[in-house]
């Protein structure tokens, strides 16, 4: 687990990035049980509790749920994204993981910040190995959402993990 000072710097870097791409976020005391410690989504806004937040990278993962939700529905999502009865939303998990990887690369963070040992049902190292070797599980979903370069795009646009835009229309 990161030191308090490093954790504070990471949170500041991540939340500044999220604000810059249009994902509202707010530090707040959370009185409810959350799927990821200290992170909650309410009406499309990412809330985090500094006292409870164990892994700053969880902010990027949960922000991915917001980012991949269609813009007209974004302000309606909330709760624990794995457990709020939105089967359609849950089907985006593989894209959320891919989006999280693009975000951590953009922020020049070590993948272990997002793919920490207590996450991803014990498969964190598998995700790191796959993404770092260029096996971008979930990439076709991000391409379909027009968030990154299409596989058949011959323009000089940078390929994934570069993103064309961070939020789904």
Mean pLDDT of the chain: 91
Residue numbers of the domain that contains 72: 4-144
In contact, 84 and 78? CB cutoff 8 Å: yes
Distance CA 10, CA 109 (A): 9
> Phi, psi (5° rounding) for residue 39?
-130, 135
Looking at the domain assignment, is residue 151 inside a domain? no
Looking at residue 32, what is its pLDDT?
85
Looking at the domain assignment, is residue 166 inside a domain? no
Cα dihedral 166→73→94→114 (10° resolution): 60
pLDDT per residue over 6-44, tens digit each?
899 999 999 999 999 999 999 999 998 898 999 999 999
Q: What is the pTM of this model?
A: 0.91
Q: Which residues are CB-contacts of 2 (< 8 A; sequence separation ≥ 6)?
A: 10, 56
Looking at the domain assignment, is residue 48 inside a domain? yes
pLDDT per residue over 107-166, tens digit each?
999 999 999 999 898 899 999 999 999 999 999 999 999 999 887 777 888 999 999 999
**How many whole angstroms from its chain centre is CA 103?**
7
What total of structural domains would you count in the chain? 1
Looking at the domain assignment, is residue 154 inside a domain? no
Is residue 87 predicted with pLDDT exceeding 50? no
């Amino acid at each position: 687990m990161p030191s308090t000072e490093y954790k504070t710097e990471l949170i500041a870097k991540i939340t500044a990035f999220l604000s810059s791409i249009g994902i509202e976020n707010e530090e707040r005391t959370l009185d409810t049980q959350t799927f990821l410690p200290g992170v909650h989504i309410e009406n499309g806004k990412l809330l985090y509790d500094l006292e409870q937040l164990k892994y700053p990278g969880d902010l990027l993962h949960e922000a991915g749920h917001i980012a991949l939700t269609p813009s007209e529905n974004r302000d309606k999502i909330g709760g624990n994204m794995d457990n709020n009865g939105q089967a359609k939303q849950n089907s985006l998990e593989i894209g959320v993981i891919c989006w999280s990887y693009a975000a951590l690369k953009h922020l020049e963070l070590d993948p272990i910040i997002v793919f920490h040992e207590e996450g991803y049902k014990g498969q964190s190292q598998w995700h790191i190995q796959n993404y770092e070797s260029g096996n971008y599980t979930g990439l076709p979903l991000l391409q379909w959402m027009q968030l990154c370069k299409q596989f058949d795009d011959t323009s000089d646009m940078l390929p994934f993990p570069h993103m064309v835009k961070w939020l789904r229309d």
